[in-house]
């Protein structure tokens, strides 16, 4: 498959994640009040509109707006450059790795858009058992998480051709 076509498909995947992420967040913001919760599966899953000024699990939420904007701006740009570099360096036949990275990139861009527009990330997927809640998340967070898990599994089970050391080579005949 031509390299440019492959990158087009990967950009389409990442772009689709960004669009779905932004459309779902916009829908939540337009149809719900902040902190409103709508149970979907009782004692398990609700749509709950919150705004997270911090990182994953609310880390750094208490920091100043200026610090968070600089910190998240720099780390987001670093992550995007790193992911882009990894994507372009993966072997052409490594579809699983490429799809995983494209998903992570799409999620990272979706959350970066929120940070640039609102100074915080819109979260609304609330998973819990009775009163024990997992931190709320969104489509972008899901794409990042799934992409990271697939990448870890992929690299853990990837078969590599390991070159033999000189002392392991068969004797010359």
- Active site (catalytic) residues: 123, 141
| SS3 category, 79 | helix
Residue among 61, 84, 83, 70 nearest 116 (CA): 70
**CB within 8 Å of 87: residues ≥ 6 apart:** 10, 98, 101, 102, 105
**CB within 8 Å of 105: residues ≥ 6 apart:** 14, 80, 83, 84, 87
| SS3 category, 39 | strand
Residue among 85, 77, 86 nearest 116 (CA): 77
CA distance 141 to 146: 9
């Amino acid at each position: 498959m031509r390299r440019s076509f492959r990158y087009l498909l990967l950009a389409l995947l990442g772009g689709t994640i960004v669009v779905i992420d932004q459309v779902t967040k916009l829908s939540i913001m337009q149809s719900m009040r902040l902190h409103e919760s709508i149970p979907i599966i009782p004692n398990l899953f609700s749509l709950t509109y919150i705004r997270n000024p911090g990182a994953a699990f609310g880390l750094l939420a208490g920091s100043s707006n200026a610090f968070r904007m600089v910190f998240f701006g720099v780390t987001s740009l670093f992550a995007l450059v790193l992911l882009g570099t990894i994507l372009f360096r993966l072997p052409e036949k490594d579809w699983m790795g490429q799809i995983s990275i494209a998903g992570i990139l799409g999620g990272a861009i979706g959350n970066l858009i929120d940070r640039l527009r609102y100074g915080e990330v819109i979260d609304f997927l609330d998973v819990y058992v009775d009163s024990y809640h997992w931190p709320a998340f969104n489509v972008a967070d899901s794409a990042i998480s799934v992409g990271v898990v697939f990448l870890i599994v992929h690299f853990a089970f990837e078969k590599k051709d390991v070159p033999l050391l000189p002392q392991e080579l068969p004797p010359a005949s």
